[in-house]
């Protein structure tokens, strides 16, 4: 009987791990790496802040779980139509979960106001 119970436990654990990994397939938004945050903050100190001030964010992903297209689509969605730039990538001591350990740090440049039809 102990062998049969071990097999059942292994199946249950395996199914649980599969279900858990299925939940973590989407990229995750986190804070950007420290150098990117500091650079964006320094720019804000120099030029001031407003609705169009660039801001930094990170995206956690797994190289075996996510495609580059998924990561870029998620970053564009996070930036809400603004321009994004990849500034850093790290996989050590970051806020990302174990399954998606790599963090890509982006800077978002929000869309500016539309120019008036009169050109002024």
pLDDT one digit per residue (tens) for the chain, 120 residues? 556 666 666 666 555 554 455 555 899 999 999 999 999 999 999 888 888 999 999 999 999 999 999 999 999 999 998 999 999 999 999 999 988 999 999 999 998 777 666 655
Q: Which of 99, 104, 102 is nearest to 78 (CA)?
A: 104
Q: Which of 55, 53, 62 is nearest to 94 (CA)?
A: 62
Residues linked to residue 56 through DSSP beta bridges, in sequence order: 107
What does the pLDDT read at residue 76?
96
What does the pLDDT read at residue 101?
93
CA 117 to chain centre: 37
Cβ atoms of 69 and 41 within 8 Å: the answer is no
What does the pLDDT read at residue 18?
46
Cβ atoms of 33 and 106 within 8 Å: the answer is no
Cβ atoms of 80 and 51 within 8 Å: the answer is no
What does the pLDDT read at residue 97?
92
Give CA separation, 112 vs 9, 108, 109, in Å. Answer: 57, 12, 9
Q: Taking the CA atoms of the chain, what radius of gyration do you get in angstroms?
A: 21
């Amino acid at each position: 009987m102990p062998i049969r119970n071990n097999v059942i436990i292994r199946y249950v654990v395996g199914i649980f791990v599969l279900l858990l990994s299925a939940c973590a397939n989407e990229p995750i938004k986190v804070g950007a790496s420290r150098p990117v945050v500091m650079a964006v903050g320094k720019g804000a100190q120099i030029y001031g802040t407003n609705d169009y001030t660039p801001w930094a964010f990170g995206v956690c992903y797994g190289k075996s779980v996510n495609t580059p297209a998924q990561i870029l689509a998620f970053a564009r969605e996070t930036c809400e139509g603004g321009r994004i730039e990849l500034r850093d990538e790290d996989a050590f001591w970051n806020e990302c979960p174990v399954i998606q350990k790599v963090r890509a740090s982006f800077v978002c440049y929000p869309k500016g106001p539309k120019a008036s039809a009169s050109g002024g």
